[in-house]
A and B are shown apart, each in its own frame.
Chain A
Amino acid sequence: MPAPSQRRLIFQHIDEPGYSNDLACYVRNGGYEILKKSVTRKPEEIIDEVKKSGLRGRGGAGFPCGVKWSLVDRKSGKPIYLVVNADESEPGTFKDRYIIHQDPHQLIEGIMISCFANNVKQAYIYIRGEFPIGARILEKAIAEARAANFVGPNILGTHYSCEIYVHRGAGAYICGEETGLIESIEGKRPYPRIKPPYFPAVLGLYQCPTIVNNVETLCHVKHISDMGGEAFSKIGTPNNTGTRILCVSGHVQRPGYYEYEVGKITLGQLLNEVCGGPLPGRTFKGVIPGGSSAKVLRFGEIFTLKNKDGSTRTLTVEDIPMDFDTLAACGTMGGSGGVIVMDDSVNMVDALANLNAFYAHESCGQCTPCREGSLWMKKITARMVHGDARAEDGALLNSVANQIAGRTICAMGEACSWPTMSFVAKFGDEFKAYPETKNAPKSTDALELV
């Protein structure tokens, strides 16, 4: 089956010749018309549309956006905040970058519609510190929008006011975790909060009800407000609606970003057709389908899944449609949509060592399992690569990883342990053989990963 065409809903104008990130260009292309219509509606209607749309978060968790909005405590009397998660730090992910740099007004319009729907008067865009130009672009865009009465006091002749400020991070992956992000905006060390009781929808920023949404998710809200939730829900596949931007990197001919209806393209179509297959002379070995925290898949694996009627179907890695549910059923996740491909030139122990170093570096250190476990796993794989590997190190790594997942304050526990669990599970042979592999003569252009 040939791959479907992209459906560039969010990325409609990315890389479009002549499209610039200023207000004039955006308005010329129909920008802010949807906001104009949205503010004439009842806010609850817009929330309803988002619920109907089935939109799932595009930051990594895939949590239904309408459900998240409906959990907001609207009875507390406290102001409701909206925080845009523009921290984009999940390795393998590079989509929000383009929205921010090339089409910032789409994000702003999505923010304003979402704020209007939820009676939010103050929104913050938390942008990672490594996007300094992006931060300036956003600030300029907000200023333009404010001047045109799309943002700020009494927008578009209504009594509705909402201000947006940009807040820059400074190099911490954990600020992508919604409560870590909130702590960071509050000016503290970004330690994620324990839930219960600190669910952002109830006790978020400044202990007020807060919505935290990913950049791409908020852009989808704009389109949902335009076409209606039901129409949106028909895009993609049931329970995995809309489009999503898939970011492919690593050992493919044509890495890059591609926007498809969720679930309408398989991993094989994506990598072999759209991305041109493996590099010359190489074969695919492993793929991480949803950002580096997602469990790795080994080419050649077979998955047996249950169908609704009780029958089963088997899938190869190439057969897997890129939707949240199927990927989860195959023991991994859709995550942030970051697809990292590794071919047969890669030693999987080295690859894991690279990732373990990332997670150890990024662990905030608040809770025991992630703090100590992530560094321990890094030390083990580093020792294996640079010192003495033992045949039992794979089993030790797996055991340590299993002591972390499910026992931490935040999902970083899973994020730092799933790579280790899955690399050892899927490529255990390489871990057992590593002591020999390590001592075998290497070619001078061997791939150094750690």
Chain B
Amino acid sequence: MSPKHDATLKERTTRWMQERYPLDKVTGFAEKKQVPLYHGTIWYYFGGVTLFLFLIQVVTGILLLFYYRTGADQAYESVRFLMTEVQFGWLIRSIHSWSANLMVFAAFVHMFSVYFTRAYRKPREFTWVTGMLLLLLALAFGFSGYLLPWNQLAFFATKVGTDIVGVVPVAGDFMLNLLRGGPNVTGATLSRFFGFHIALFPGIFTIILAVHLLFVQVQGMSHPLGAEEQAPDKTMPFFPNFVLRDLLLWLIVLNVLALLAVFFPWELGQKADPFTSAPAGIRPEWYFMFMFQTLKFLPAHILALEGEVVGVAGFGIAGLLWILVPFLDRKSEKGRKSRKLTYIGLVIVIYIIVMTIIGYVLS
């Protein structure tokens, strides 16, 4: 009703864009996206939280790059410099370390919530697969990043972790050499892990993330099992409602990160010294703890095979089955929850929690 020259800034901008790009197709599509409202709605936020934490990692990671130096004779000192001399360096570093842990945690929650709600069922099988790849990459990020400060704990944890890789029959030694840049953990390992951490993994992660998000946007949010068509009052629009709520949650997560960084700053420890014996209490980061503890519990030999080989193989097979769950779960695409799968999922969650706790208590 208002004449053209009285249009608001928003209207004028929209018209300017519309004359150049198919904005209405995008907004039209976005308006249709709905998020189911039910007792499980809260779980829908965790994917976004993981994404937010990843973005934090990218930003803090790039900032850290301004001062971090790689190389066995420079890495530790550069991190110490960062923590003591650079203004707010302590903050950036602590946020980066804490956010890494929170991101892996959020990813696990997101994964398990998708599992228990069977959101992976047709047509979303490959969203699940790409999601699992993202989780594996996140773990790889964590493992490679952990070494970068080149301190005692990280050095020996990397040694132990890569030792386990070497246990794999046939390909083990090859993989170990590839990871370590040689038979031992040295400055060459540090260079490699640095390359993985800031170039290779981010590149692959971004591509797979884009695919993952594209799938989610194109296919929309999955509905709880057995209720495909929802009445309008049982859903909320993705834009702007869900997005704004998501942003609100992100603000709170940011505050939590700041709290952790200020009140529980990440330690640096001693510089790595390959010639000392391993310090007491080396252990992997918590997200590897359950696997590490399982391997510790396994006896030295099971039947004819080495205990460790059985453990690694076991986790490998379990991981593979887990990735293939959407294709193995016949019931969910028919709209029914397989109780067996729920129990299996519960057992796995409890196992992970219990093993992680045991790992910490025993060390």
A and B held together in a complex: no
Binding site for B on A (CB under 8 A): none
Binding site for A on B (CB under 8 A): none
